[in-house]
């Protein structure tokens, strides 16, 4: 006899995943919208005349006024925002005060480099961090566990620029093993024109030498950037695995005769995987910030150098563009993580909230 | 019963050591569960029923726990003498357990079908039976039908969170039945659910015993459930069995002081409606009384009770472990 | 007659003493607390304990340039001959001041917003939490870069920029705690007794968040110091000649690896203080068994 509260009748597995997706995308769009407003407001309420700052003190009044008109800086506030927002929807971030080129062109070139670095870091963080966390949990309070904890803390408290410097010194000047600056060797003819990722593109073009070169350049910055994250992922995975191991359903699995290996790697790992992913999403902003610093130390041609140049030269549109892109990057990454988490854990899908 | 019982626990004693101190959690526990019978193990929280159950199943974590003495005979073989591998082979195949809390006993991130298929796959492997995916699904649907689940296909595709508590409990029972076990241990069946649903679950279990000849050992703290459902009852207190009898006999003539006090505690709607409890609390398991563990709280206690009481007969199939049975009857 | 059981009357031990006892059992926590104490003391007493307090200002001492660590100059000297150890001590003052100001703003603002959002729910919650989401999307460092550069690089603007985003973490934390707590009975009890909303928020709910806030603040001190150091490393925080740990790492970096002390010792000093707060925060977290804190 069926129970009166036949809950499942309302739900079909595929359908509620779709609802979940739609909800998440909607909120992400809302956040992006809010982000654009916030950035715009901040940029426009800064004291100082951006046109004057860009042109410098020696430019004449007409030149400044000219630039103002061209940039639309003389229109009322709301109109300016409108212009900005519409432009955003088209992917247009305005014109750089400095180069007079569309900002999104300038950023696009540099974004790929940053993206490659960040992607490599996230991959390394999970590939190294999760197994470390699992091992630490299995060895709870043992020497492996303490060792992992030690390195995790060390990674978290070391300033990223210090680590970057140390790695540079160690690998470059002391060991002479790895290149210390840039993304490719100066004399290499390779460009990343398919995906924007040098490592991937060189492989796609069947170019092992180029791939190796790109990889060698990628290694140190990734190491410097991932140190803190690996530690975090490892610790979260560890505590998450321990949490899951105390759950009733794991003991029930044993009572049903499911072998220990299966219980560990299938039953425990999947639910335990969710907290590290969620943390990665939240931490992504810090990761991006640290990426900026690491890029500058290694002269990595990413958004950081473009951003810093724009900042030093008070190129307002460019600066806003960089901040905006960073924000968008964060939102997109979090959206993807939310979807992944929702895919794994049905409770998140149905309750609609992030755990 | 003329046959040997399917499950026979004899003289089981278990210690726990935590923070360097040893607790004598089970002392000389004996019980029998024959096939085709519904046996209940009753006691308050902390009396050792869970430990007994887990020891039988073999899922007791043996670093903190230590089996001091005793035998657990299943189909004539002593489980405690077996190697862990052999015991694992029995779990989920010949002997199964139904867990207490349906909310937490199912893995939330896998579908019901996936979980059941995993259990079945490894059970089949241990039994040497080859079954392909379709065969497994067929068996899963069959078993879901046994526990009276409508639309087994949809259930198999669902995640635990989509099902109500009662349905999850049925799923747990179904999981236990997958390989046609001969012994089923049910831990507080239905206590996490509302009363109506619990009644349905209990009826289901009863029918399973009758229809399939299962041996069912039900662990509970609820006397009402025992009275309704069980054929035979063991009453446990502080790690020992204090009285055991066929259900009707136990309620007609409760003989051990603890059993009498327990039955007295149950609020009545008519007659003597005073609200009663039992004075005192469970003994400290690290330093338990040498003799009868109930004696500190017992009205009839005398110096005699410093010797561990032996099982003494009250009537046919009804025994109680007390030196003062005659006075208790008054 | 039932046997009576002798019961010992329990000894009264205060919660604070219990906490202290448990805390002191945890070696890393104690180390963390010790490090923090050392750094704070060093920073407060810097003008009196620094060996060469006059090296903090805009002086040059060319004869003593680039000297390795020695008995006279414990951390060596930098490229214009200033004693690095003294400058590190003063640099700690700046770092701690930065963190204190940032958190002094971020924690009250963030906690209040979190309380309001968690307790009132509805539109309040939606508006506040969406705003928090937006602010969280911006990397603090990037924001700080933008703000300090557009305004002018100095300590005040750096503090402002970091604080402007830091409250979001506390809002999230307090929100999630309050959301769980608001349905509990003590809240309902207070309401039935006629407590004002202010009272419920700040005298009932907030104390329950206290341990989580404490843990987070400890950890945050370390993180804010790291971000502040990164900012000044990039030249966008404290300006020379005021001694600052990040700036010292940057200016010393030119002389790596031969004159390693000029860059690495200030860097180690940053690591030291961050380590202290991190261990302290971890220890507090273990003590209070708080799980929801990062």
**Which residue bears the tokens 């740990």?**
C245
CB contact under 8 A, C5 and B279: no
d(CA B105, CA A250): 8
B residues 297-316 near C, CB within 8 Å?
297-299, 301
CB contact under 8 A, C271 and A327: no
Output DSSP code: residue A103: H
pLDDT value of residue A37 = 81
Residues in chain B with CB shorter than 8 Å from the CB of C3 are: 295-296, 301
A148 near C CB under 8 A: no
Best probe of the A interface among C32, C146, C275, by most A CBs < 10 A, is: C146
Q: Are strands B183-187 and B215-220 parallel, antiparallel or unpaired?
A: parallel
C4 to chain B, closest Cα gap in Å: 7
- Read off the pLDDT of each residue in C124-146 and give the average, rounded to a whole number: 85
A residues 236-265 near B, CB within 8 Å?
247-259, 262
The confidence band for A108, taking pLDDT boundaries of 50, 70 and 90, is confident
pLDDT value of residue A95 = 65
d(CA B101, CA A83): 59
Residues in chain C with CB shorter than 8 Å from the CB of A307 are: 142, 145-146
A86 near C CB under 8 A: no
CB contact under 8 A, A256 and B92: yes
Output DSSP code: residue B46: T
d(CA A306, CA A101): 14
Q: pLDDT tens digit string along B100-123?
A: 888 889 999 999 999 999 999 988
Residues in chain B with CB shorter than 8 Å from the CB of A1 are: 148, 200
Residues in chain A with CB shorter than 8 Å from the CB of C249 are: 159, 161-162, 165
A279 near C CB under 8 A: yes
CB contact under 8 A, A308 and C145: yes
Q: pLDDT tens digit string along C84-100?
A: 888 899 999 989 998 99
d(CA A205, CA A224): 29
Q: Which of C175, C98, C182 is nearest to C140 (CA)?
A: C98
CB contact under 8 A, C234 and A296: yes
A31 near C CB under 8 A: yes
* Mean of pLDDT over chain C: 82
For C5, which of B280, B298, B301 is closest by C-beta distance?
B280
Q: pLDDT tens digit string along C166-216?
A: 999 899 888 888 888 877 877 778 878 877 877 777 777 788 888 889 999
The confidence band for C51, taking pLDDT boundaries of 50, 70 and 90, is confident
Q: Please measure the distance between the N-terminal and C-terminal CA atoms of chain C and give it in whole angstroms.
A: 58
Backbone CA torsion sign across A326, A331, A334, A335: negative
A144 near C CB under 8 A: no
Write down which chains contact chain A via at least 3 CB pairs under 8 A: B, C
**Which residue bears the tokens 């654009």?**
A36
Q: pLDDT tens digit string along A183-213?
A: 666 655 556 666 667 667 666 677 777 777 7
Q: What length does chain A have?
A: 355
- Read off the pLDDT of each residue in A108-112 and give the average, rounded to a whole number: 81
DSSP string, chain C: -PPPPP-PPPPP--HHHHHHHHHHT-HHHHHHHHHHHHHHHHHHTHHHH-S-GGGGSS---GGGTTPPS-SSSTT-B-TT--BHHHHHHHHHHHHHHHHHHHHHHHHHHHHHHHHHHHHH-HHHHHHHHHHHHHHHHS-HHHHHHHHHHHS--SHHHHHHHHHHHHHHHHHHHHHHHHHHHTTSHHHHHHHHTT--HHHIIIIIIHHHHHHHHHHHHHHHHHHHHHHHHHHHHTTSSSPTTS--HHHHHHHHHTTTTTTTHHHHHHHHHHHHHHHHHHHHHHHHHHHHT--S--
C257 to chain B, closest Cα gap in Å: 52
Chain B residues interacting with chain A (CB cutoff of 8 angstroms) = 57, 59, 88-93, 96-97, 99, 101, 104-111, 118-119, 122-123, 126, 148-150, 154-155, 157-159, 161-164, 166-167, 172, 175-176, 197, 200
Residue in B with minimal Cα distance to A341: B109
pLDDT value of residue A158 = 92
Residue A122 has pLDDT above 90, yes or no: yes
Residue A47's H or E segment, with its range, is none
Q: Count how many pairs of residues, chain B against chain C, have C-beta atoms within 8 Å.
A: 13
Report residue B108: phi and psi, to 5°. -70, -20
CB contact under 8 A, A345 and B109: yes
Residues in chain B with CB shorter than 8 Å from the CB of C2 are: 279-280, 296-299, 301
Domains of chain C as residue ranges with CATH? 2-288 (1.10.3720.10)
B238 to chain C, closest Cα gap in Å: 16
Highest mean pLDDT among A10-19, A37-46, C47-56: C47-56
d(CA B91, CA A256): 6
Residue in C with minimal Cα distance to A243: C291
Which pTM does this prediction carry?
0.82
Q: Are B79 and B73 in contact (CB under 8 A)?
A: yes
pLDDT value of residue A91 = 66
CB contact under 8 A, C141 and A308: no
A271 near B CB under 8 A: yes
Which pair of structure tokens corresponds to residue C20? 């202290």
Is the bond into C257 cis (omega within 30 degrees of 0)? yes
The confidence band for C2, taking pLDDT boundaries of 50, 70 and 90, is very low
A157 near C CB under 8 A: yes
Best probe of the C interface among A289, A324, A355, by most C CBs < 10 A, is: A289
pLDDT value of residue A2 = 41
B170 near C CB under 8 A: no
A88 to chain C, closest Cα gap in Å: 17
Q: pLDDT tens digit string along A124-142?
A: 999 999 999 999 998 888 8
Best probe of the C interface among A33, A42, A151, A159, by most C CBs < 10 A, is: A159
Q: pLDDT tens digit string along A255-312?
A: 888 888 888 888 898 889 999 998 898 888 889 889 988 988 888 888 888 887 777 7
CB contact under 8 A, C141 and A42: no
Residues in chain A with CB shorter than 8 Å from the CB of B173 are: none
Give chain B's residues under pLDDT 50: 1-2
CB contact under 8 A, C141 and A292: yes
CB contact under 8 A, C249 and A159: yes
For A8, which of B107, B109, B158 is closest by C-beta distance?
B158
d(CA B181, CA A102): 73
Residues in chain B with CB shorter than 8 Å from the CB of A19 are: none
Best probe of the B interface among A5, A7, A8, by most B CBs < 10 A, is: A8
For B57, which of A255, A266, A267 is closest by C-beta distance?
A255
Residues in chain A with CB shorter than 8 Å from the CB of B126 are: 257
Residue B312's H or E segment, with its range, is strand B312-315
pLDDT value of residue A7 = 44
CB contact under 8 A, B108 and A258: no
A222 near C CB under 8 A: no
């Amino acid at each position: 006899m069926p129970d009166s509260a036949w809950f499942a009748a309302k739900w079909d597995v595929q359908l509620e995943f779709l609802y979940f997706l739609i909800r998440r995308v909607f909120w992400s769009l809302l956040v992006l919208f809010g982000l654009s407003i916030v950035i715009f407001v901040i940029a426009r309420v800064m004291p100082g005349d951006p046109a004057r700052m860009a042109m410098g003190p020696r430019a004449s009044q007409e030149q400044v006024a000219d630039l103002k008109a061209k940039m639309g800086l003389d229109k009322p506030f709301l109109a300016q925002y409108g212009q900005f927002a519409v432009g955003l929807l088209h992917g247009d971030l305005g014109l750089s005060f400095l180069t007079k080129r569309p900002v999104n062109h300038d950023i696009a070139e540099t974004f790929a480099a940053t993206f490659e670095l960040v992607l490599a870091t996230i991959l390394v963080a999970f590939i190294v961090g999760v197994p470390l966390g699992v091992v630490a949990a299995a060895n709870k309070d043992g020497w492996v566990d303490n060792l992992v904890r030690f390195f995790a803390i060390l990674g978290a408290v070391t300033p990223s620029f210090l680590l970057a410097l140390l790695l540079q010194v160690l690998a470059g000047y002391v060991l002479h093993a790895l290149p210390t600056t840039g993304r490719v060797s100066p004399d290499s003819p390779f460009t990343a024109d398919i995906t924007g990722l040098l490592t991937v593109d060189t492989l796609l073009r069947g170019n092992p030498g180029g791939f190796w070169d790109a990889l060698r350049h990628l290694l140190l910055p990734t190491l410097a950037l991932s140190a803190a994250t690996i530690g975090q992922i490892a610790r979260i995975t560890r505590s998450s695995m321990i949490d899951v191991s105390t759950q009733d359903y794991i003991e029930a699995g044993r009572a049903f005769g499911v072998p220990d290996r299966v219980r560990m790697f299938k039953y425990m790992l999947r639910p335990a995987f969710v907290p590290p992913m969620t943390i990665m999403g939240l931490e992504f902003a810090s990761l991006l910030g640290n990426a900026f610093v690491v890029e500058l130390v290694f002269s990595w041609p990413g958004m950081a150098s473009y951003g810093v140049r724009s900042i030093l030269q008070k190129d307002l549109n460019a600066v806003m563009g960089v901040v905006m892109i960073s924000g968008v990057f964060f939102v997109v990454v979090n959206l993807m993580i939310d979807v992944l988490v929702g895919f794994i854990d049905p409770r998140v899908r149905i309750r609609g909230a992030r755990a | 019963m003329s046959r040997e019982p399917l499950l026979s626990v004899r003289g089981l004693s278990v210690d726990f050591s935590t923070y360097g101190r040893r607790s004598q959690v089970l002392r000389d526990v004996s019980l029998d569960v024959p096939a085709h019978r519904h046996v209940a193990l009753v006691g308050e929280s902390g009396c050792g029923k869970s430990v007994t159950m887990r020891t039988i199943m073999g899922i007791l974590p043996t670093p903190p726990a230590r089996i001091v003495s005793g035998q657990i005979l299943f189909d004539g073989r002593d489980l405690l003498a077996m190697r862990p591998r052999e015991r694992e082979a029995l779990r989920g195949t010949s002997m199964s357990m139904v867990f207490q809390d349906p909310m937490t006993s199912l893995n939330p991130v896998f579908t019901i079908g996936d979980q059941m298929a995993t259990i079945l796959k490894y059970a089949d492997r241990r039994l040497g039976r080859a079954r392909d995916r379709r065969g497994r699904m067929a068996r899963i649907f069959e078993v879901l039908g046994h526990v009276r689940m409508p639309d087994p296909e949809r259930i198999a595709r669902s995640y635990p969170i989509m099902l109500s508590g009662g349905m999850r409990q049925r799923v747990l029972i179904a999981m236990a039945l997958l390989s046609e076990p001969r012994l089923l241990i049910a831990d507080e069946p239905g206590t996490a659910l509302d009363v109506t649903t619990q009644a349905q679950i209990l009826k289901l279990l009863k029918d399973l015993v009758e229809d399939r000849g299962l041996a069912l050992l039900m662990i509970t703290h609820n006397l009402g459930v025992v009275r309704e459902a069980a054929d035979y009852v063991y009453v446990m207190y502080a790690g020992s069995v204090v009285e055991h009898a066929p259900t009707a006999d136990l309620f007609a003539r409760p003989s051990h002081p603890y059993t009498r006090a327990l039955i007295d505690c149950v609020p009545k709607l008519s007659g003597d409606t005073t609200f009663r409890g039992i004075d005192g609390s469970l003994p400290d398991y690290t330093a338990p009384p040498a003799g009868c563990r109930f004696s500190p709280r017992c009205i009839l206690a005398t110096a005699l009770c410093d010797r561990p009481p032996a099982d003494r007969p009250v009537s046919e199939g009804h025994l109680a472990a007390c030196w003062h049975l005659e006075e208790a009857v008054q | 007659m039932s046997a009576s059981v002798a019961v010992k009357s329990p000894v009264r031990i205060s919660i604070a003493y219990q906490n202290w006892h448990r805390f002191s059992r945890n070696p890393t926590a104690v180390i963390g607390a010790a490090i923090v104490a050392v750094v704070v003391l060093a920073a407060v007493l810097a003008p009196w304990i620094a060996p060469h307090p006059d090296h903090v200002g805009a002086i040059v001492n060319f004869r003593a340039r680039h000297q390795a660590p020695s008995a006279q100059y414990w951390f060596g000297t930098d490229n214009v001959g200033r004693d690095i150890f003294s400058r590190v001590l003063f640099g700690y003052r700046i770092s701690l001041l930065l963190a204190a100001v940032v958190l002094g703003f971020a924690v009250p603002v963030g906690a209040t917003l979190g309380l309001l959002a968690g307790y009132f729910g509805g539109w309040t919650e939606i508006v506040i939490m969406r705003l928090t989401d937006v602010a969280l999307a911006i990397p603090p460092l990037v924001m700080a870069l933008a703000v300090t550069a557009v305004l002018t690089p100095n300590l005040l603007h750096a503090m402002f920029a970091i604080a402007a985003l830091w409250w979001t973490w506390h809002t999230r934390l307090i929100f999630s705690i309050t959301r769980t707590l608001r349905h509990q009975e003590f809240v309902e009890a207070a309401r039935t007794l006629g407590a004002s909303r202010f009272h419920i928020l700040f005298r009932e709910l907030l104390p329950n968040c206290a341990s989580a806030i404490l843990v987070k603040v400890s950890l945050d001190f370390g993180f804010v110091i790291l971000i502040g150091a990164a900012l000044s490393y990039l030249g966008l925080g404290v300006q020379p000649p005021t001694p600052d740990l990040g700036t010292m790492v940057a200016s010393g970096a030119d002389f790596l690896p031969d004159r390693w002390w000029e860059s690495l010792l200030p860097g180690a000093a940053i690591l030291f203080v961050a380590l202290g707060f991190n261990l302290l925060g971890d220890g507090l977290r273990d003590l209070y068994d708080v799980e929801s804190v990062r």
